[in-house]
């Protein structure tokens, strides 16, 4: 299940508050550094909604995920998800 959700390397958004989201099976979110509610204690992990419940995955350094909310590629540097700069045209 986690492989199916994380293999596309796409998240809906990065947020700290799960009460502000609408969950759809298979969607994933990057949890921010100060999570609340059901995400408390899961800072900087990836939350995946599947089969009616949340699952949490720990990112590994170098992992890249596309944040669809801001259309930016983020890379986990071992401490936080950092937005990557766009590659300029040659």
Flag whether 77 is in a domain: no
Decide if 26 contacts 80 (C-beta within 8 A): no
Number of domains observed in the structure of the chain? 1
User: Could you tell me the CA-to-CA distances from 58 to 19, 31, 76 in Å, in that order?
Assistant: 21, 10, 10
Residue 20, domain extent: 2-60
Residue 69 belongs to a domain? no
Looking at per-residue pLDDT, the higher value among 46 and 81 belongs to 46
* pLDDT tops 80 at residue 87: no
Token code pair at residue 5: 């959700």
pTM (predicted TM-score): 0.85
Do 14 and 81 contact (CB within 8 A), yes or no?
yes
In a domain, 73, yes or no: no
- The answer to the question of residue 66 being in a domain is no
Residue 47's pLDDT is 93
In a domain, 28, yes or no: yes
Give 3's pLDDT tier (boundaries 50, 70, 90): confident
**Alpha helices (H) along the chain:** 2-6
Q: Establish if 89 belongs to a structural domain.
A: no
**Between these two residues, 48 and 90, which has the higher pLDDT value?**
48
């Amino acid at each position: 299940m986690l492989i199916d959700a994380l293999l596309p390397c796409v998240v809906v958004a990065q947020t700290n508050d799960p009460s502000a989201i609408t969950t759809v099976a298979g969607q994933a979110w990057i949890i921010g550094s100060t999570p609340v509610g059901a995400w408390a204690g899961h800072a900087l992990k990836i939350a995946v909604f599947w089969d009616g419940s949340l699952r949490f995955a720990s990112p590994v350094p170098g992992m890249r995920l596309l944040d669809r909310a801001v259309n930016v590629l983020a890379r986990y540097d071992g401490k936080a998800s950092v937005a990557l700069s766009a590659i300029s045209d040659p």
